[in-house]
Chain A
Amino acid sequence: MIRACVIVFPGSNCDRDVKVALEAVTGCPVTMVWHQEDEVPASDIIVLPGGFSYGDYLRCGAMAARSPIMSDVVKKAKAGVPVLGICNGFQVLLETGLLPGALMRNASLNFVCKDIWLKCERVSTSFTQCYRKDQIIRIPIAHHDGNYFADKETLDRIEGENQVVFRYCDRDGNVSEAANPNGSQRNIAGICNESGRIVGMMPHPERLFERALGGTDGRRIFESVVVGVASAMVEGGLPQAQP
């Protein structure tokens, strides 16, 4: 039994999509948790979904990060419960300070929705352990503010600590400026905390998790959850991240 929770903010709009993907892959029902609750039920993982929480007004994710449920999410995340933030969920994670940096307006200034290629740089996380190191995968992005920014020190630090999970690349795996869809520094598409249990990513794995949708590269994000929970049960604890 895998206990997954999806947090729903007013304006979340990929909450149902990620629930469908999680349920299809894990075979277990997913609990939806409204932002005004005080507590997340006991869970194996928590997902902050994509969308436009609070209309993206003020700053993307800013108001969601300060909604009642988030203090418990932060508490549980710090206690080691794996948390995945997708797109707007990634923006929320940055606004809570659980992950470093900020997401700014795309360099093109336009919203962009398309399939892009990612290089999986860290596969020892709760959400990427089913990928191969340096595997090239195709997953869609859909955002207006996905331009990852952090100061040089922070960038050097997260690279040094192996906290970059995904980088934008071309189909052959070249991490180049041409393959950068939004101006993100160092082509960063997703990062994690030191332990690899908190992951934030701009691309939407739930949008390519079955053949009918045109691809299955996103599926392993959710399979990683299954593997993680299974090994936690065997070992009596969550898998230790191996950088």
Chain B
Amino acid sequence: MKALIKITLKNGVLDPQGKAIEGTLNSLGFSGVNDVRQGKLIEVDLDETERQAAEDMVERMCEELLANTVIEDYSFELLA
């Protein structure tokens, strides 16, 4: 089973990289681009085949290492 884990900065946490991207997009002529936020996408291949167990495991991975919950939110999806 494969897990796709998305990590983004929490709302309210300043994202200077997102801001820079937004500035460049605007200067390239993409108007109406707002609130660009940059994050990470992490792909993990799991031996686990049972869905609930996989979910629990990925949840723990996020809490223990992959996300810094002081500043980051995470979400994930499991692909069979």
Is A–B contact present in the complex under a CB 8 A cutoff? Answer: yes
Binding site for B on A (CB under 8 A): 58-59, 62-63, 66, 94-95, 100-102, 104-109, 147, 149-151, 183
Chain A neighbourhood of B20, CB < 8 A: 109
Contact A101 B17 (CB under 8 A): no
Q: How far is the CB of A19 from chain B (nearest CB, A)?
A: 29
Chain B neighbourhood of A183, CB < 8 A: 14, 16
Binding site for A on B (CB under 8 A): 12-14, 16-17, 20, 64-66, 68, 70-71
Residue pairs across A and B with CB atoms within 8 Å: the count is 37
Contact A105 B16 (CB under 8 A): yes
Of A58, A95, A100, A105, the contact of B17 (CB 8 Å cutoff): A105
Q: How far is the CB of B13 from chain A (nearest CB, A)?
A: 6
Contact B16 A58 (CB under 8 A): no
Q: How far is the CB of A182 from chain B (nearest CB, A)?
A: 10
Q: Which 9 A-B pairs have the closest CB atoms?
A: A102-B70, A102-B71, A107-B16, A59-B68, A105-B16, A109-B16, A102-B68, A109-B20, A66-B65
Q: How far is the CB of A151 from chain B (nearest CB, A)?
A: 8
Chain B neighbourhood of A108, CB < 8 A: 16
Chain A neighbourhood of B70, CB < 8 A: 94, 100-102, 149-150
Q: How far is the CB of A240 from chain B (nearest CB, A)?
A: 29
Compute how far the CA of A79 lies from the CA of B12 in the bound complex, rounded to whole angstroms. Answer: 35
Chain B neighbourhood of A150, CB < 8 A: 70
Compute how far the CA of A104 lies from the CA of B64 in the bound complex, rounded to whole angstroms. Answer: 19
Contact A95 B68 (CB under 8 A): yes
Chain B neighbourhood of A107, CB < 8 A: 14, 16
Chain B neighbourhood of A101, CB < 8 A: 70
Q: How far is the CB of B43 from chain A (nearest CB, A)?
A: 14
Contact A66 B66 (CB under 8 A): no
Chain B neighbourhood of A106, CB < 8 A: 16
Chain B residue nearest to A63 (CB atoms) is: B65
Compute how far the CA of A183 lies from the CA of B20 in the bound complex, rounded to whole angstroms. Answer: 15
Centre residue among B12, B20, B70, B71 by max chain A CB count within 10 A: B70
Q: How far is the CB of A88 from chain B (nearest CB, A)?
A: 15
Contact A58 B65 (CB under 8 A): yes
